Amino acid sequence: MNLRTIFRTVAFAEAISWALLLAAMFCKYVTESEPFGLHEGGVPVAGAVHGGMFLIYLVVTAVTWWIFGWRRNVGLVALAASIPPFCTYVFEVVADRRGLLATQR
């Protein structure tokens, strides 16, 4: 598995973990339900999964930044993409289309 595939997979997984966390928070705070018998709507589990994926994304992004030789502003945008929901996936798609995941230095 090459670094391009790893980065794309982790970016997508981080976005999915956001969706899981938002769904769990919706169940807990809006519907006040516990789907599938999960305590507090599953927020503790979804939060831990998302936190882990967030940290993995940061590490993989730093390595990808270094290996592909991204300019500083590209690397910082890639790291900042981990903050808003689903932006890691958006960044990955744009980076792939612009060839930022094609040539290693």
- At 93 the pLDDT is 96
**What pTM does this model have?**
0.90
Cα 28 to Cα 46: distance, rounded to the nearest angstrom = 12
Which residues, in sequence order, are CB contacts of 81 under 8 Å at separation 6+?
A: 11, 87, 88, 90, 91
- At 16 the pLDDT is 96
**Dihedral sign, Cα of residue 68, residue 70, residue 74, residue 80:** positive
The one-digit pLDDT tens for each residue of the chain (105 residues) are 799 999 999 999 999 999 999 998 898 888 887 776 777 778 888 999 999 999 999 999 999 999 999 999 999 999 999 999 999 999 999 999 999 998 776
